[in-house]
Amino acid sequence: MKAIICTNYGGPEVLKLVDVPKPTITDTQVLIKVMASAVNSGDVRTRGLVVPGFLRIVMRMVLGFRKPRQPILGVVLSGVIESVGSKVAKWKVGDEVFALTGFRFGGHAEYAVLKENSTMELKPKNASFNEAAAIVFGGATAIYFLEAAGIKSCSQPQILIYGASGAVGTAAVQIAKSHGANVTAVCGEAGVDLVTSLGADSILVYTKDDFTKLPEKFDIVFDAVGKTTKKQCKHLLKEGGVYKTVGGLETAAERVSQLQYLRELYEAGKYRPVIDRIYPLEEMVAAHTYVDSGMKKGNVVIEVGR
Ligand SMILES: NC(=O)c1ccc[n+]([C@@H]2O[C@H](COP(=O)([O-])OP(=O)(O)OC[C@H]3O[C@@H](n4cnc5c(N)ncnc54)[C@H](OP(=O)(O)O)[C@@H]3O)[C@@H](O)[C@H]2O)c1
C-alpha cells in the first residue's frame, strides 16, 4: 500500500511517499481502508519536534529518539472497515467510521489498523469522508477543553474564544453555540467572515482590537491557539470563571463520547467542518508546508481513497 513515512525529525521534506506491505490484524483489531485524513498542528509538531526545549527530550522518549517510532503519521482518519478480527464484536465489514488514532498514528496511508475499542465511531451518515476527517481533531479538542472548563454546568454561558479561525477555534465556536453560549470570538482579519458564518455573536480582530480591554466578563475564556496567558485574561473572567488554553501542559483526552457528540451535531445540521484545502496523499509535503505557515483556516484534509 502507499504510505507517507517520516524519515527523520525536521522540515516537510523528511516525509516520503513509499510502498509498504498492507498491514495485517490480530483477533481484536480492525483493518480500515482509509478514505481521508488530515494534517493538523499536532502532525507538524511531531514531524518537526516543535516543542519547548525541555519537552523535546520527553517527546523523543515518547515518539522515538532519532525519528518517530511509528513512521506513518496522521492522527485522524475516516474510512471503511475492510476486515475485523475474530474477537471483534463492535464493528463489521463495511462500517464507515471516523477516528482519532492517538499515539498509534497511521492515518497517512491507504490502510490503518486500530483496536476494537479505539476512539472510533460510525461517521455521520450524511458527511463525506473528507468532512468526517475534518471534524475529528478540532472537534474533539474543543469539546475536551470546553467541558473541562465546565461548559455543561453553565446556563447560557458567556464565552470568549481566542484564535477562532483554526481547526480548534472553528470547532470551539460551534461547540460553544451548541451549548447555548454567547460567543465573542477573536481572530485575524482573514477569518472574520468564516467565524461569523459559524455563529459567533461578536468578533474582534487581533491585529486591530485589544481583546484584553473588553468591558464584558466571561464564564469561560478559551485560547484555541495558545497565544495568550492566564495573567492577560484573568480580569476578563466572572467570579468562578475559567481560563483554558491549548498552549499549556494540559493535553486533551480523546473520548468516543466526543465523536458521538460531533456526529449528532453534524447529523442535526448544527456542525460544519471547515475545510481550507484538500491535498492528495502524494502531496503531503505541500500539505505540511501549508500547515507550517500557521495560517490555515479550519482544516487541511488529505484525500487518500478514491
Ligand atoms: N493541548 C492539547 O491537547 C492540544 C490539542 C490540539 C491542539 N493543540 C494546539 O492548539 C493549537 C491550535 O491548533 P489548530 O490546529 O487549531 O491550529 P491552526 O489551525 O494551525 O491555527 C491556525 C489559525 O490560528 C490563527 N492565528 C495564528 N496566530 C494567531 C494569533 N496570534 N491570534 C489569533 N489567531 C491566530 C490563524 O489565523 P490568522 O492566519 O488570521 O492569523 C489561523 O487561522 C496548536 O498550537 C496545537 O498544537 C493542543
Q: Are 190 and 294 in contact (CB under 8 A)?
A: no
Q: How far is the CA of 232 from the centre of ligand 1 (A)?
A: 18
Q: Are 47 and 63 in contact (CB under 8 A)?
A: no
Q: How far is the CA of 115 from the centre of ligand 1 (A)?
A: 30
Nearest atom, ligand 1, residue 252 CA: 3
pLDDT for the residue numbered 50: 84
pTM of the full structure? 0.97
Q: Are 94 and 80 in contact (CB under 8 A)?
A: yes
Spatial separation of the C-alpha atoms in residues 87 and 26, rounded to whole Å: 9
pLDDT for the residue numbered 184: 98
| One-letter amino acid for residue 144 of the chain | Y
Ligand 1-lining residues (CB < 6 angstroms): 40-42, 45, 138, 141, 163, 165-169, 187-188, 190-191, 206, 224-227, 246, 250-252, 294-297
Number of Cβ within 10 Å of residue 238's Cβ equals 14
Give per-residue pLDDT as tens, 93-129: 999 999 999 999 999 999 999 999 999 999 999 999 9
For the segment 69-96, the average pLDDT, to the nearest whole number, is 97
Ligand 1 pocket test, candidate residues 41, 244, 288, most atoms within 8 A of CB:
41
Give per-residue pLDDT as tens, 189-225: 999 999 999 999 999 999 999 999 999 999 999 999 9
Q: Which fold has domain 138-245?
A: Rossmann fold (3.40.50)
pLDDT for the residue numbered 36: 98
Domain 2-136+254-303: which CATH class? alpha beta
Give per-residue pLDDT as tens, 254-301: 999 999 999 999 999 999 999 999 999 999 999 999 999 999 999 999
Q: What is the mean pLDDT of the chain?
A: 96
Q: Are 271 and 294 in contact (CB under 8 A)?
A: no
* Residue spans per domain, the chain: 2-136+254-303, 138-245
| One-letter amino acid for residue 20 of the chain | V
Helix ranges, 78-219 (H): 129-148, 167-178, 192-197
Among residues 168, 121, 106, 142, the alpha carbon closest in space to that of 253 is found at 142
Sign (positive/negative) of CA torsion 198, 203, 206, 212?
A: negative
